[in-house]
């Protein structure tokens, strides 16, 4: 009898261990595929930017976007992950963040750690998303070196600092103010949008965008269908992005980034409803397919902060509101003399702002993070939105001002007129010249190895 | 070159190459940092050169 009990106990222990490891591996698999899907965001932004560029700049725009992805990976390894783990109290690093330093035993293949690599990868793709958001705003006139410095600052420092403050169970914004932003409307979209705005002020418009009297000219995208397809790809990628915003707990209910119970079903309801609302709102306002697909993104961001708790028709209405209002912000921005080539600030900055504030109105009172911390509340959300806006805008403005003074920001006007591809890129986008328009017909004399 | 940081798979944790040689880890890390940021310097030089070729 005793022997049978011992055998049974041994079998139960083995089963528990197997179930535990199965859960751990399922968690790894889940974030692996979220990361893969998020690469579609970058692919989408690539198509979007290249389509929105004129033929003479299409490859330079593509190169810039690809490089943003490439530089985000090592720099997020060098210091981005550490910033997330260490700076949740503000600007003073906490000791438990040391595990994020690149020489730590967890920052490479480690049989005792199935989590760090996969979470680092997902966060790296969030970083790449912020860089891509910024990248679109500055097409056709930013220097590559200046762009890379700014993209690294945004993707591997600034947004992740906002993430540590407001997208971390111990972040000071969440613990002290009750800030709630499960889908990263503030920490990703607002920060990136406001960062782009800060840069745009110093970068200036593309040559020919504005007339002497301040009126604006339309600089037409060379391939609207490509741009629209890119936007749809971004939406596909956002299902990976938002999947990466919820925490898989083997054997238990999912939790949100703040440690409160949530379901992936909630995310599915509200992401799709917000997206649909955004398309409809933008269609009603503009009838423009470019804005309809941007509206899909706006709708997701407008619902993002409360994806875990919203009643789906609320997400839909928030999306409709954002999709209708944000195109007007784009028009106002242009009237102010700011050339945001793809509407990055209105779509991400204002879309994210609506999302963060809406959560304070419609999800007020929901418990947030640890017991004793304030619940979700309007003032916490408004305060959090101000912090995210400033956290994006100030570094973007100051860093671009410094780069401008160093001559590393803006492509000279005569080069812009000539086109960046013929100057910097050793191949042609459309060598058979089947696209009507100002295609380069001379042999490229670009310096190779951009 | 012996890059293996453990004697046996049993109980092994950090298994990446040179995990038991912090000096080499730091050297590789430093090399990656230099390449990453050095490339940006090269990009700036390349651009200046390209622009000066198209006055």
Q: Residue range A45-52: average pLDDT?
A: 95
Q: For A248-275, write each residue's pLDDT tens digit.
A: 998 899 999 999 999 999 999 999 999 9
Q: Distance (Å, rounded) from C-alpha A307 to C-alpha A279? A: 18
Of all residues in chain B, the one with the smallest CA distance to A63 is: B43
Q: Residue range A426-433: average pLDDT?
A: 84
Q: Distance (Å, rounded) from C-alpha A392 to C-alpha A154? A: 8
Q: Distance (Å, rounded) from C-alpha A432 to C-alpha A168? A: 52
Q: Distance (Å, rounded) from C-alpha A171 to C-alpha A186? A: 14
Q: Distance (Å, rounded) from C-alpha A68 to C-alpha A89? A: 29
Neighbours of A259 (CB within 10 A): 15
Q: Residue range B5-25: average pLDDT?
A: 95
Q: For A97-112, write each residue's pLDDT tens digit.
A: 999 999 999 999 999 9
- pLDDT tier for residue A437 given thresholds of 50, 70 and 90: low
B34 part of contact set with chain A, CB < 8 Å:
no
Question: What is the secondary structure of A110-154 as a DSSP string?
Answer: BTT-SSHHHHHHHHHHHHHHHHHHHHHHTTTTB-HHHHHHHHHHI
Report the DSSP beta bridge partners of residue A246: A256
- pLDDT tier for residue A370 given thresholds of 50, 70 and 90: confident
Q: In A, which residues are within 8 Å of B51 by CB distance?
A: 411-412, 415, 423
Task: Please give the pLDDT value at position A124.
Answer: 97
User: Could you tell me what percent of chain A has a pLDDT over 70?
Assistant: 96
Q: For A276-308, write each residue's pLDDT tens digit.
A: 999 999 999 999 999 999 999 999 999 999 999
Q: Distance (Å, rounded) from C-alpha A118 to C-alpha A127? A: 14
User: Could you tell me what percent of chain B has a pLDDT over 70?
Assistant: 100
Task: Please give the pLDDT value at position A435.
Answer: 56
Q: Residue range B1-30: average pLDDT?
A: 94
Q: In B, which residues are within 8 Å of A102 by CB distance?
A: 29
pTM more than 0.80: yes
Task: Please give the pLDDT value at position A450.
Answer: 38
Q: Distance (Å, rounded) from C-alpha A313 to C-alpha A315? A: 5
Inter-chain CB proximity A450 and B49 less than 8 Å: no
Q: Is the pLDDT of residue A443 over 70?
A: no
Task: Please give the pLDDT value at position A449.
Answer: 44
Q: For A196-212, write each residue's pLDDT tens digit.
A: 999 999 999 999 999 99
Among A337, A389, A144, A79, residue whose Cα is nearest residue A397: A389
Residues 6+ apart with CB under 8 A from A391: A158, A161, A162, A165, A191, A194
Task: Please give the pLDDT value at position A369.
Answer: 79
Three-state SS across A242-288? HHCCEECCCCCCCEECCCCECCHHHHHHHHHHHHHHHHHHHHHHHCC
Q: Distance (Å, rounded) from C-alpha A373 to C-alpha B26? A: 41
Q: Is the pLDDT of residue A185 over 60?
A: yes
Q: Is the pLDDT of residue A311 over 90?
A: yes
Q: Distance (Å, rounded) from C-alpha A119 to C-alpha A122? A: 5
Burial group, residue A375, by CB count within 10 angstroms (0-12, 13-18, 19+)? middle
Q: Which two tokens stand for residue A137?
A: 């705003």
Inter-chain CB proximity B16 and A109 less than 8 Å: yes
Contacting B with CB below 8 Å, chain A residues are 71, 74-75, 78, 102-103, 105-106, 108-113, 143-146, 148-149, 408, 411-412, 414-415, 418, 422-424, 445-447, 449-450
Q: Is the pLDDT of residue A421 over 60?
A: yes
Q: In A, which residues are within 8 Å of B25 by CB distance?
A: 103
Report the DSSP beta bridge partners of residue A142: A410
Query: What are the E-state strand segments in A44-85?
Result: none
Mean pLDDT of chain A, nearest integer: 94
Inter-chain CB proximity A411 and B51 less than 8 Å: yes
Inter-chain CB proximity A103 and B46 less than 8 Å: no
What is the interface pTM, i.e. ipTM, of the complex?
Answer: 0.96
Q: For B34-50, write each residue's pLDDT tens digit.
A: 999 999 999 999 999 99
Task: Please give the pLDDT value at position A391.
Answer: 98
Give the CB-side neighbour count of residue A416, counting CA atoms within 13 A. 17
A65-74, A344-353, A424-433: lowest mean pLDDT where?
Answer: A424-433
Q: Which of B50, B52, B53, B55 to probe by mutation at the A interface, max A CB count within 10 Å? A: B50
Task: Please give the pLDDT value at position A447.
Answer: 46
Q: Cα-flanking dihedrals φ and ψ of residue A246, to 5°? A: -120, 150
- pLDDT tier for residue A327 given thresholds of 50, 70 and 90: very high
């Amino acid at each position: 009898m005793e022997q049978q009990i011992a055998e049974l106990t041994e079998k139960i222990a083995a089963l528990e261990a197997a179930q535990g490891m199965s859960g751990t591996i399922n968690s790894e698999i889940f974030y692996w595929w979220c990361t893969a899907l998020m690469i579609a965001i970058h692919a989408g932004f690539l198509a979007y930017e290249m389509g929105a560029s004129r033929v003479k700049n299409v490859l330079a725009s593509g190169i810039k976007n690809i490089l943003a992805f490439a530089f985000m990976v090592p720099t997020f390894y060098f210091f981005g992950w550490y910033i997330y783990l260490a700076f949740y109290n503000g600007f003073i690093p906490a000791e438990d963040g040391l595990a994020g330093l690149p020489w730590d035993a967890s920052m490479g293949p480690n049989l005792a750690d199935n989590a760090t690599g996969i979470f680092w990868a997902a966060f790296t793709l969030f970083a790449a998303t912020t860089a891509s958001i910024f990248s679109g705003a500055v097409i056709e006139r930013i220097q590559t070196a200046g762009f890379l410095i700014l993209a690294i600052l945004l993707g591997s420092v600034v947004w992740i600092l906002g993430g540590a403050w407001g997208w971390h169970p111990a972040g000071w914004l969440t613990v002290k103010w009750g800030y709630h932003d499960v889908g990263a409307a503030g920490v990703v979209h607002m920060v990136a949008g406001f960062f782009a705005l800060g840069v745009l002020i110093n970068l200036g418009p593309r040559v020919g965008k504005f007339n002497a009297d301040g009126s604006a000219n339309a600089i037409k995208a060379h391939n609207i269908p490509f741009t629209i397809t890119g936007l749809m790809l971004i939406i596909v990628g956002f299902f990976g992005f938002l999947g990466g915003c919820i925490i898989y707990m083997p054997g238990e209910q999912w939790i949100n980034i703040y440690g409160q119970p949530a379901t992936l079903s909630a995310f599915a309801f509200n992401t799709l409803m917000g997206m649909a609302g955004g398309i409809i709102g933008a269609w009603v306002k503009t009838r423009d397919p470019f804005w309809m697909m941007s509206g899909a993104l706006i709708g997701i961001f407008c619902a993002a902060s409360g994806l875990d708790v919203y009643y789906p028709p609320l997400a839909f209405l928030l999306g409709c509101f954002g999709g209708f209002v944000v195109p007007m912000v784009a028009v106002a921005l242009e009237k102010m003399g700011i050339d945001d080539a793809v509407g990055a600030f209105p779509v991400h900055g204002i879309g994210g702002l609506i999302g963060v504030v809406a959560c304070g109105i419609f999800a007020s009172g929901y418990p947030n993070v640890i017991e004793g911390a304030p619940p979700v509340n309007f003032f916490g959300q408004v305060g959090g939105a101000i912090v995210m806006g400033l956290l994006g805008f100030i570094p973007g403005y100051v860093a671009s001002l410094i780069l401008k003074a160093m001559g590393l920001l803006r492509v000279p006007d005569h080069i812009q007129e000539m086109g960046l591809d013929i100057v910097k890129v050793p191949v042609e986008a459309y060598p058979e010249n089947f696209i009507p328009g100002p295609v380069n017909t001379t042999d490229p004399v670009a310096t190779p190895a951009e | 070159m012996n890059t293996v940081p453990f004697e046996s798979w049993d109980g092994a944790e950090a298994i990446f190459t040179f995990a038991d040689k912090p000096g080499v880890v730091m050297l590789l890390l430093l090399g990656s940092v230099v390449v990453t940021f050095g490339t940006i310097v090269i990009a700036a030089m390349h651009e200046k050169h390209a622009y000066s070729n198209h006055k």
